[in-house]
Every structure is written in structure tokens, then in C-alpha cells.
Chains A and B, each alone.
Chain A
Amino acid sequence: MKELHKRIGHILWVFAVLFAIMGGYLVYVAAFEADDFIANPFNARVNIGDEGVKRGSIYDANGVIIVESVAVDGAYVRRYPLGPVFAHTAGHSGMSKAGLELTRNFTMYQLRWELVQRARHAIFGDELVANSIVTTFDASLQQMIFDYLDGTNSRGAVAVINPSTGAVLAMVSTPSFHPEYIGENWGELVADRAASPLINRATQGLYPPGSTFKIITAMAALEQDPALLDFVFECTGHATFGANTIQCWGGTAHGRVNMTRAMAVSCNGYFAVLAEKIGAQPIIDAAEGVFFNSTIPFELANNDSQFPMSVEPTMSELIETAIGQGRTTTTPLNMAVLAGAIANGGVAMEPYMVDRVINAAGNTINATSPRMLGRVMPPEMSVVLDQMLIEAVADGTGTPAAVAGLQTAGKTGTAQNETGVDHSWFVGYATADSPTVALAIIIENTGGGTRASRLAGRIFEHMMIDQ
């Protein structure tokens, strides 16, 4: 019997461990993991609001109201004073929810000191006011960008981040819609497949990167051999690779160019030759190193940039991919993160939109700390790329992004696409010596040209000079 008692003791331990694991896992799921999965359209609980509670507001970084709840005839109604400007980011709340209205739904129903508030409500009739969200957005910048795109009826997207933190300063997608009337206009909005106003182009739009991809080809080459920076190529306006020919834009002959000069003038021949020299693998590594084929963690639905080129591509695929054509596609958010990494000495920061949660009295309940996505290049390489991108704006294809009195950096792009009318890209940052703004801009079907670069200049000016 004594042996039996000892064995029962062993079994007791096994069960104790099983139950401890179960309890620990429950706490892990419910207390730590839940925030990441409860804001799901399949969770019907996001649509049951406490009607007696004044739902929290969404503010920009300077306290400008983006969304608020207003009492109308004794019931709270959601108001969006800036209309379509924040439709894709702050989102909407009604029969369905999206954007921050979905992801922070439960936060904006949470009552700080709930028991006290409920008691005061029951006794004195005080309003029940839930926690609010302070975002990283600059509403005036967002408005300016929106007006620029919407005013010209352009389809396009802009992502602006702070390179040293990842804070999203602006994120615009056009065409947009008014969140307050989404219910009435739903059928129309969904039916408009061509314009797809409900899509957030900044995170979900997958575009060919065009010449902005040359940044990644340059990274691949420099990673392979830093001496390639001084590799010189004689551009005659076109270059031939067996049966394939690559044309420079408009057939322009750029003459003798090194990598910096080739980047500045966006010489297709140079980067095609570079790709031929280094082969496919370094380019695959470089693209995947800057988050192609992987997910950038972000609060809103975002698509992964696609880099489908295989290890052994055909010559035509290799050289086309190297200059940003081929089958590669990317999102403006991804390109903004890349620009931010170069500006930030090679370290990419995780993009985020919510700076802090505040209670009804305005006191911070919790604040977001910036997080690193990872080092995507050594600091020396970021310095070299910095020089190239400065030259591209100072004396290259990016000159429309130049702002008097500021040193700005960036790369233009012209993305050929299935519509036949090219998109216009700009990816860059300012100021070059102490960057506070990194951005990616795409404007659809401009037929190439300089519109994206000009908008970039306006944004730099707004951020550095107007304020």
C-alpha cells in the first residue's frame, strides 16, 4: 500500500501540471493574446455596443477630432467631421465596422473606473464616457494630401511615416467615401469595381514598383560587393542582353554613369547590367529583406508585397525585375517603410497609428512604444543610398520634389501596368541630414510624369516650412 500511495502522489503531480498548464494557457489567451484576435468581422460582439455609453473619440496627434460620438435626441450618434479624409484609416462604424473603429472597438467602449462611473451614472445621472484614442496622424497634412488627390479626381495613395519611430503621419487613399453615409451608399460603393473606393490603396493596393525598385537592386549589388558602387557603364539609351533589349526612358543616352549617377537619372541599362552581373539570388534576398513576400505587422488590413521571381529566371525576367517591371508588386506602405529604413540608418520601424489611449479626463492609460521591424541594411549602405537619393532630387529625375532651403531625397518611378497608362511613384524622405518624414506616393494612370514628385515636394514643404 505504501508503494501505491507513492504512485498516487506521482499521478497527482501529473494532473497538477496539466491543470496548471491549462490555467496558464487560459490567462495567456484571454489576457494577452485576445486583443490581437477579438477585432474580427466574425466576432459578432463588435457590433453590440453599449448604447448608454458615450463611445470614445479618435483624435489626431494635435487633438483635432477625427471621429466622435454626439448625443442626438437622447441617443449617441457617430460623427466624422472630416468626412472622407480618414475613411480608410479611422474607418466607419455602423452595421459593420472597419479601420480603427473596428480594431479599437472595445477600447472605445471601455470605461475607466467602470464601477465608479456606473455608480455616479445611477445616482447623479452623469454621462458614461469611454476611453478615447489619440492617433499619430497630422490631420492638416492628411487634409492637404487628400485635397491634392481628390481635387484632381486622381486615384492614388500616400503613406507618410516618421522614420525614427514608424508613427504614421498621414495615410490617404482616393477615391474615398463619407463614413457617415456608408450605409445608404453601400450598394454603390461595392458596385464600383473600377474605382473601388472601399479599398485602402495605401496598404492593400499592389502596384508594380517601377524604377523605385532600383533602390533594392542597388542594395543587392552593394551587399554582394560594395566596390560595385564605382562600377561604370556606358549608356547608349539601350542595352542588349542576348535577344532582349532594355530601353532607357525616351531612349535617352545617359553616357558614362556610376551607380550614384545611374540612380539619379534612373538609367535602366545600368541596373539591368548590374542584375546580369550579380544574378537572381542577391536580388531575391534584398527584396525579401525589405519585407517582400512577408507581412508587415500593421493594424489595418494590408497585402504582402509580391516578389515571385525564381532563383533561375529567364534573362528577360531578370533584367525587367531589376528595373521594377516584371511580376513584382508592392504596396505604398511597404515602400514608405523602405524609405524610412534608409532615412533611419538602415533600421526599419514598425508602422503604427495609435499613439495612446486616454480616459475621459484626458489622462494616458497606455501609450504605444515604437518597435523595430529589423535592421534591413548596414549603416554604411544606408549612407551610400542616401547620397544617391539626394542626387536624384538635386540633379536627376526627382527634381520636382526639391524644396528650396531643404535637402530632400527620393526616387521616382513610372510603373507600366495592365491599363496601358503608367502610374507615377515617388519614394523618399526629408530632410536628408535629419529625417523626420519618409513617404511613398503613387498616383494612378498619370502616364508617368512628375505628379507624385510634386506632391512629395508639397508634403515636405508642409511638414518643414509651413509649421
Chain B
Amino acid sequence: MLDFMSVLSRYYFVFLILYFVVVAARYIVKEKGDGAAVPLGQRAVTILFVMFAFPILALSDDMLSVNLETLIFGGLVLVFVVLGSVLKRKIYKNICPLITNTMFFLLALGFVALYRLAPDLAARQLLFAAMGVGASLLIPLIFRIFRQFERLEKLYLTLCVALVGVIVIADGIGRLFNIPIVSVDAFGAVRWISIAGMSFQPSAFAKPLFVIYLACAFRTKPGAGKLVFVGTTSAAIIGLLVLQRDLGSALMYFAVFMVILYAATGSKILLATGLGAVSVASVAAYQIFPHLRIRVAAWHNPWADISGQGFQIAQSLFAIGTWGPFGIGLGRGLPGRIPVVERDVIFSAISEEFGWLFGLLLIAVYAMFFLRGALMANRAKRPLHALMTLGFAALLAFQAFVSIGGNIKLIPMTGITLPFVSYGGSSVFVSILMVGVLNWLYGQNGRQDAVPTKEEA
């Protein structure tokens, strides 16, 4: 009987996410037209998802006993989703229901996927997500205090460089005094600083600052001197990331830089220059860094060294490919066999048990998120707001692209988290804040006639 239910649940979960995507698409189209649109039922999808997933995880194999802890955690997730959405609506002037619903849906999916892999990580993630939502409630207040925040351009740059650079310095100090301050991930990238048992990832906090810096710098048409300055400082920040071997982040920073640069100037010459520079830099990096060559080789043919460098990507592909479009069913697969699965390869873990069709629709969820973000940028009254909105949406969407693309072997794996879903305190905290800023910007630029999101329960 449990087998039957577990099999049935696979179709059910695919149906839920399909419904979510269809509603999102309808909303985007309608909202673009007459404006009176509501993404009906999306919050219900998230709640139903949580209400089915945790009982399945809680049931023992023989169906005779129920793990109470799992149910309690599921209840907490439910409280988080409902309370979080309600509070956001109360505090913000006007929020985009689609962006907000998408965030909570992805967070809920992440809690389920993480709880299934490692319950303690899911608990930590929930804590960080709650902190993130709590902090994002302060965003309207902060912007009210710093009305002319765009004038602090240099401050953002300084902070950004400091946050990206601190890990290089900390690494140096750690090596000098032989104390473990920074930790190295599976790819040899130094990303975390650990102080007193708590570890955090400074470069995660640098990301939104980088976007704000670029948006402020390009809010008026930049002259040649400004272009050189912003280009050089951005290149320096990306260079620092490459030094830390954090190539996934470097790629994301570069993509966001190009997006904002092109949106602000529209210059094809600058576009070509940027792409040309990064091509040359990539070839040079490939020649210089042996670990980069190893990773590209593992991507190109993981089967050649399946017990070594190709192991993680091969396991990721096994997880995606073994059980077909509807997966093996929640709790029945072997996602734990993939190294660093909860942080870097969560997409494959989800695809294994929910099916690759679910994975495909998950890609569509991120695509809708970006589409909506770009349309919101289009509606902004000031270039500053347009560039910030576009930058944040592009950053999160491109991060999803690099993460999922690495998991499915479209591009080399880089150890980047999947926004809102992967385990990572700093990452989830910052991502929630970015959505907070998106929503605040939306409130500044929303339709005057828009009904302040009276949505269904």
C-alpha cells in the first residue's frame, strides 16, 4: 500500500509543480496586459507540497510507525511559509506575488530535499531562512533611512572588495600562524571563514553589493573614464575570486557585469570587448591552473576517470538518469551517494526521487522567475531601479543556470549552490535579502492602480 502511495505521489508532485509553472506563465502574460492578475493557487501548491512530502518521509517502511520529529519539522516549515508570506505582505508597500511565491516554493522544496538527506542540515537551513525573512522585513525601513543610497557607490565597491578579499587575507593569516580559519571545498576553492565554530561565506554577501555598485555606477550614461574605472575594479574583484579558485562565482559576477553593462550602455563594442577579455582570460587560466584542466577533463569525459575526478558528475548523472521522468519516489533513491549532494548537487538529488520531468519544470520555475524579474525591471521609472532589478534577477537566474548546468554536465561543475534550495546558510540568507530588495523596488515602481496583492489563501 505504501508502495502504491509512493508511486502515486510521484505523479502528484509533478502535477503540483506543473500547476505552479502554468499559473506563473498565465500570471506573467496577464499582468503584462491588463494588470489585474493574481497567481491563483501558487501558495496552495507550496502548502500541499509540504503537507504531502513530510508525512511520506515520516512513515516507516512497514507503515506501522510514524516519525514524529519529521512531522513536527514539516509543521515548522508550514508555519514558516505561511507566516513569512503574511508578514512580507504586511510590511512591504507592494510585493510581487509571483516572485514571493516562487521563493517560498523553492525554499520549501529545499527543506524537503535537505530533510530527506540530512535532517540537521534542514533544521539549520530553516533557521537561516527565518533569519533571512526576518532581516528582509527591515529592508523598507533601511531604504527609507538611506533615501539617496545611490550616492554611496564607492562604499559598496569598498565593501565588496573587502568581502571578496578578506578570505585571501584570512587564508594568508591562517597559513602563517597555522590556524584553520578558512575551509576548502571539494573543488579546492577557499570559500568559508570559520570563527568560533561558525562558518560563513563572505563572497555570498559581496554578490548583492556588486550588483548595487554596478547599478549605481551606471545609473547615468557612463563616460570613458568611468567605464575604465568600473571595468577595472570589476575585473579585480573577479580576479580575486579566481585566485580563491571560486570559478563558479567568478563566472556569475562576470555574467552580471555583462548584463548590467549592456543594459546601461547598449554598446556592442563593449560587449565584444568583455567577451573577448574573458575568453583570453579563460584560455590563460586553463593553461595556468592544473585544477581547472582536471575539472574540464572530468566534465568532458567523466567515465574515463569514474573512480576519481569523474566520480561526482557520474553519480549526479546516475541520479538523474536511472529512474525515468517520474523518479523513484521520495525517500526511495540513493541521492546520498553523490558527494557534496546537499550543497552542490541538490538538483540531481531532487530529480532522482521526483523525476527528471520535475527537474525540467524546476528549470521552468527559475526561468519564470527571471522573466518576471526582467519585466519588473522594464517597469521601473528610474534607470537605477531598472538596473538593480535586472541585476538581482539575472544574478539568481544565472546562479541556477551554473548550478543545474553543472549537475547535468552541460557545463563543468563548479560547486555553486542552487538558489533557495541548496544547503548553505550564507547563500540562502543573502538570496532571501535579494528578493526583499526586488520586492521593495517593485513597490517603488508598481502600478498605481495595482490592487495590493489580495491573494487567495
Residue-wise, chain A 14-25 has the 8 Å CB interface mask toward B (1 for contact) of 011011011101
CA distance A19 to B396 in the complex (A): 13
Question: B residues within 8 A CB of A27?
Answer: 356, 360
Given contacts A45-B318, A48-B334, A16 and B367 within 8 Å (CB-CB): yes
Does B426 touch A at the CB level, under 8 Å?
A: no
Judging by beta carbons under 8 Å apart, are B374 and A22 in contact? no
Tell which of B1, B3, B394 touches A15, judged by Cβ atoms closer than 8 Å: B394
* B318-A22 in contact (CB<8A): no
**A33 (CB) vs chain B CBs: closest residue:** B321
Measured between alpha carbons, how far is A6 from B374 in the docked complex, in Å? Answer: 11
CB-based contact B4/A38 at 8 Å: no
The SS class assigned to the B binding surface is: helix
CA–CA, A8 and B314, complex, Å: 37
Shortest B204–chain A CB gap in Å is 22
Check: A7 CB closer than 8 A to any chain B CB: yes
Answer yes or no: B168 CB below 8 A from chain A CBs.
no
Is there an interface contact between A22 and B363, defined as CB atoms closer than 8 Å?
Answer: yes
Give the residues in chain B near A22, CB-CB below 8 Å.
363, 401, 404-405, 408, 410
Interface residue from A1, A11, A25, A37 paired with B262 (Cβ < 8 Å): A11
B454 to chain A, nearest CB (A): 29
On whether the beta carbons of B7 and A19 are closer than 8 Å, the reply is no
Asked whether A12 is an interface residue with its Cβ less than 8 Å from the other chain, the reply is yes
Is A30 a contact partner of B7 (Cβ separation < 8 A)? no
In Å, the complex CA distance between A395 and B333 comes to 63
* Minimum CB distance partner of A5 in chain B: B378
Binary contact track A25-45/B, C-beta < 8 Å → 1, others 0? 111011101110110101111
Q: In this complex, what residue of A is CB-closest to B326?
A: A114
Chain A: minimal CB distance from B377 (Å): 6
Q: Within the complex, which residue of A19, A44, A52 is in contact with B367, where a contact is CB–CB below 8 Å? A: A19
Contact residues in A for B262 (Cβ distance below 8 Å) = 7, 10-11
List residues of chain A with CB within 8 A of the CB of B303. Answer: 37, 40
A122 within 8 A of B: yes
User: Does B386 count as interface, using CB distance less than 8 angstroms?
Assistant: yes
Q: Are A29 and B3 in contact (CB under 8 A)?
A: no
Q: Cβ of B359 < 8 Å from any Cβ of A?
A: yes
Q: Are B360 and A23 interface neighbours, CB within 8 A?
A: yes
Write the nearest CB–CB distance from A75 to chain B, whole angstroms. 15
Is the pair A26, B356 in contact by a Cβ cutoff of 8 Å? yes
B383 at the interface (CB under 8 A from A): yes
Chain B residue numbers with a CB within 8 Å of A1 are 383, 386
Task: Judge whether A137 is part of the interface by a CB distance below 8 angstroms.
Answer: no
How far is it, in angstroms, between the C-alpha of A12 and the C-alpha of B405 when the chains are bound?
18
A118 at the A/B interface (Cβ < 8 Å)? yes
Inter-chain contacts of A26 with B (CB < 8 A) = 320, 356, 359-360, 363, 404, 408
A4 interface contact, C-beta 8 A: yes
Q: Do A38 and B390 touch (CB < 8 A)?
A: no
User: How many positions in chain B have a CB within 8 Å of any CB in the partner chain?
Assistant: 53
B371 is an interface residue with CB less than 8 A from chain A: yes
For A15, the chain B residues whose CB sits under 8 A away are 367, 370, 374, 394, 397-398
B364 sits at the interface (CB 8 A): yes
**Are A8 and B320 in contact (CB-based, < 8 A)?**
no
Q: Is the CB of B409 within 8 A of A29?
A: yes
Pick from A33, A35, A40, A121: contact of B314, CB below 8 A.
A40
Write the chain A residue with the least CB distance to B381.
Answer: A1
Contacts of A35 in B (CB 8 A): 321
B89 CB, nearest partner CB in chain A, Å:
27
Q: Whose C-beta in chain B lies nearest to the C-beta of A53?
A: B3
Contact of B321 with A37 in the complex, beta carbons under 8 Å: yes
**Is B40 on the interface with A (CB-CB < 8 A)?**
no
Q: Is A421 an interface residue (CB 8 A)?
A: no
B266 interface residue (CB < 8 Å to A)? yes
Minimum Cβ distance to chain B for residue A69 (Å): 17
Complex Cα spacing A18 to B374, Å: 15
Cα separation A122 to B63 with both chains bound (whole Å) = 14
CB neighbours of B371 from chain A (8 A): 12, 16
Within 8 A of B (CB), among A362-392: none
A67 to B303, CA, bound (A): 30
Which listed residue (A11, A114, A119, A121) contacts B394, Cβ 8 A? A11
Identify A29's interface contact among B7, B321, B383, CB under 8 A: B321
Select which of A6, A9, A34 is within 8 A of B320 by beta carbon: A34
Contact A30 B363 (CB under 8 A): no
A270 at the interface (CB under 8 A from B): no
Task: State in angstroms the CA–CA spacing of A34 and B364 once bound together.
Answer: 22
Q: Mark B281-312, 1 if CB is under 8 A from A, else 0.
A: 00000000000000000000001001100010
How does the 8 Å CB contact mask read for B332-368 relative to A, with 1 for contact and 0 for none?
0110010000000000000100001001100110110
CB of B325 within 8 Å of the partner chain = yes
Contact partner of B374 (CB less than 8 A), chosen from A11, A21, A25, A43, is: A11
Question: A30 near B374 (CB under 8 angstroms)?
Answer: no
Chain A residue contacts of B398, Cβ below 8 A = 15
B173 at the interface (CB under 8 A from A): no
B137 shortest CB reach to chain A, Å: 29
Query: Distance (Å) between the CB of A94 and the closest chain B CB?
Result: 18
Write out the residue numbers on chain A whose beta carbons fall within 8 Å of the beta carbon of B408: 22, 25-26, 29
11 residue pairs A–B, Cβ–Cβ below 8 Å = A8-B377, A11-B374, A18-B401, A26-B320, A26-B404, A30-B324, A30-B325, A34-B320, A38-B321, A45-B322, A115-B7
Further contacts, 7 of them, CB under 8 A, given A1-B386, A7-B266, A42-B315? A10-B262, A11-B390, A21-B410, A22-B410, A37-B317, A38-B318, A42-B306
